[in-house]
Every structure is written in C-alpha cells, then in structure tokens.
Amino acid sequence: MGFFSRRNETAAANGTTAAPVDGHHHNHHTGKHAATTNDYGDPSVLNSRPPFGQWLKATWLDIITMVCMGAIGLGVYEAHPAPTRSFPVYFQDGEVVYPEFAYPLRKEIVPIWAAAMLGALVPIFIILCMQIRIRSFWDTNNAIIGLLYSLITAAVFQVFLKWLIGGLRPHFLDVCKPALPVGQPPSGNGFASIMYDRSICTGDTNQIDDSLESFPSGHSTAAFAGFVFLYLYLNAKLKVFSNYHPAMWKMIAIYAPILGATLIAGALTIDEFHNWYDVVAGAVIGTVMAFSAYRMVYASVWDFRFNHIPLTRHLPFSYGAGAPGAGGFHTAMFTRKAGWGHPDGAIGGAPFDTAAGTMGTGAAAGTHSGAGHLGGFGHHNHHGHGLGHRESISRRPVAGTEQMV
C-alpha cells in the first residue's frame, strides 16, 4: 500500500474485531451474521490506498464539478463588467470629486496568479509533509479535495460579485484617463451634470474593465480560502485547541497561514489595487468557503475529538454510536502528545456527554473507560456500544420536594 498506508492494518483500528473480508460481521448479541455497509470488509482498510479505479469511482463527480465550475469562473472572469457605472470626476470648480480613486496605477506586489498559487500549493505541500507521520491516503485525499472545494467555490463566488457588482479601484481615474477639460462646466448627467460613464474614458479597454471590478478582492479570497483551510487542518492534526496543554510552537504553526493570507491581502492596499472593504469582503468569502469545505470532508471543525477524522462517502461517521465510519482514522494526526495519535490512546469527550469513551469508535465489550484510561472521564462502559450509550442512571423520583436543593 506504500507511503500512505497505515501500519497494523490487519486489525480494526477502532478496537473492535475486524469484519470478515466477505463483507459480513458476527453480531455477538444476536448470534447472527449481518452484512456490513463497509465495501472493504476490514474497517482498517478504509485508511489504505485504494486502486485507481475505486478512487475514481468515488471522486469522478467532484472532478467533473470542479472542471465545470472552473470553466464557468474563467468565463465570467474574462467577461466585460455587466453594469454601466456612473461616477463623478470634477466639481464645477475643477476639484476632483473622489481623490481616493485617483491613485497612480502601480505594479502589483503579489499578482493574482501568485496569490492563487500560494493559496493552493503551500497548503498541498504542508499536507503532504504531514503524511510523513500520518501516512493516510484518505486523509491526503480529503485534505486536498477539500482545499480545492474551498478555492474553486470561493473563486467562482467572487468573480460573479465582481462581474455583477464590482466597484472602482483606487487607480480608476488614472486608468480611465477621462477626456474632460479641467475647469470647464460639467457636461455629464445627473444632478448638476457631474456624473459620467465609461464612455469618457480614453485608456486601455482591458485595464478599464479591470478597474471597474474592484469588489471583492480576488487575491484576498484565494489567500483566505487556501490558508484558512490549512489553519483548520493544522489545528486538527496538531490538536492545538484540545484537552491538553500543547507547546507554543503549535500555536505559531497554525497562525502562520493566517499571517500569510493577511499579508497578501494587505499588500493590495499598499499597491492601491483594492480598497480596504474589497479586501475584507474577499477575506470573509474565503474564510466561509474554507470552513464549509473543511466540514464537508472532516467529521468536525472545532470538536477536538473528531476534527481530524476524514469522512468517507460510503459510510456515515457514527460520532460514537458504533464502529462504522471510524475504522482506521482515529489515529490520523501528527501529534503524539497526551495519548493522541497512538492506536490505544483514543481520547474521550467531556464529562457526562455522549462522547465519554473511545473517540469516534465502538469500545470493545467488557472494557472500562474510567478515569484511569485515556478513553473516559470516570464512567464505565459495560455494554461496548461505543460513545452513543452510557451506563444507565437511576431516575427514581425524590421522595419530597422539601428534600430538593
């Protein structure tokens, strides 16, 4: 299975007996054999590299969707701005109405292609480096596909806004080069005849089109779509916001991508290619798409018990109700601190919630998940049904209300 294969594939990584390879498992409560919904038989095989045909069968629809959305986004990006904008140039006394749109056209510090490349290649490189320890094909698959979800969806979203809404870039007047004599009475339309449209522009047509599509910032959208996704991925794999005290370098590691995205976005206000509100809007769009994409491919965004577990198409994740959907993935993380990342070191949930016990898996029958084990917080699991069942609690009513405090 190569680099992306986890070790110890012969036994289910969720602590239960591996299902037979014929796709059936034995139900110890009923004594019957029941068909599993696992196409691979052994749950741990979920974490190993499938044949190309099997992978393509699971992802072909995503590939086609990405290609179609990319084509649509490129077509809209190349189209002329949809609205005809009106704008003032001079007051009657010759003063420029909006000097904030009169900055000179400068070369971009970070071109749009560079922002998109950084937002894609840097996260992919780090995801691949993380596999030195994680060694999970499906974690790599979900991370990269989720990243593409975020980048492509955010890009298409923002190009439609640029096309239909847009706005003036800070260097618009310099690019437009309006053919209006300074000091002459306005000859436009609207109140006091000071409003004009692009028909007065004498500059380059492509530059004028671009300078009418300032909102939102494509650079910021791409940077935040890629780097916020990486931030969420690193947080899950390093367990920074978790149930133990991590080292400071981990906090620095997860916020380095946010710093990179902010620097790319902020550079746009220095070279006067965008207004500050264009940058903020792009950052919001990219962040929303990154959170949405991450949640589509991983079991949680913030819940530290599950946010490192990649989701599969053929099995729903049980969130503690049993073994299906968790096999082989509960150790798919980079850190090895506080029991995380070890096959026998699954961490339970908060006290008294439904997740006390082995994380995201079914606990073996007869095991205890008390305070002495990493899997629980002071309660015993006698039935082996995993996180979805707890020891029954007496519900006898109190004898009298006067005894209640």
Residue 354: how many CA atoms within 13 Å on its side-chain side?
9
Residue whose structure tokens are 């206000």: 269
Other Cβ atoms closer than 10 A to 25: 22
pLDDT of the residue at 234: 97
What is the spatial distance between Cα 247 and Cα 183, in angstroms, rounded to a whole number? 65
> Which parts of the chain have pLDDT scores under 70?
1-47, 181-185, 320-328, 344-405
The reply to whether 276 falls in a domain is yes
What is the spatial distance between Cα 133 and Cα 144, in angstroms, rounded to a whole number? 17
The reply to whether 283 falls in a domain is yes
Q: Which two tokens stand for residue 347?
A: 């961490």
pLDDT of the residue at 29: 43
Q: Which residues pair with 195 in a beta bridge?
A: 88, 189
Are 387 and 43 within 8 A, CB to CB?
no
Look up the domain containing 225 and give its range. Answer: 83-297
Nearest to 263 by CA among 279, 250, 240: 279
The reply to whether 65 falls in a domain is no
The reply to whether 390 falls in a domain is no
What is the spatial distance between Cα 405 and Cα 395, in angstroms, rounded to a whole number? 17
pTM of the model: 0.77
pLDDT of the residue at 243: 86
The reply to whether 78 falls in a domain is no
pLDDT of the residue at 5: 55
Query: Which tens digits make up the pLDDT trace of 96-106?
Result: 888 999 999 99
Other Cβ atoms closer than 10 A to 1: 13
The reply to whether 100 falls in a domain is yes
Q: Give the chain's domain count.
A: 1
Cα 233–chain centre separation:
8
The reply to whether 277 falls in a domain is yes
Q: How many helices (H) and strands (E) does the chain have?
A: 8, 4
The reply to whether 118 falls in a domain is yes
Query: Which tens digits make up the pLDDT trace of 361-392?
Result: 434 333 333 333 333 333 333 333 333 333 44
Helix H or strand E segment including 78: helix 52-78
* Four-residue CA torsion sign, 333, 334, 335, 336: positive
Nearest to 325 by CA among 347, 348, 352, 306: 306
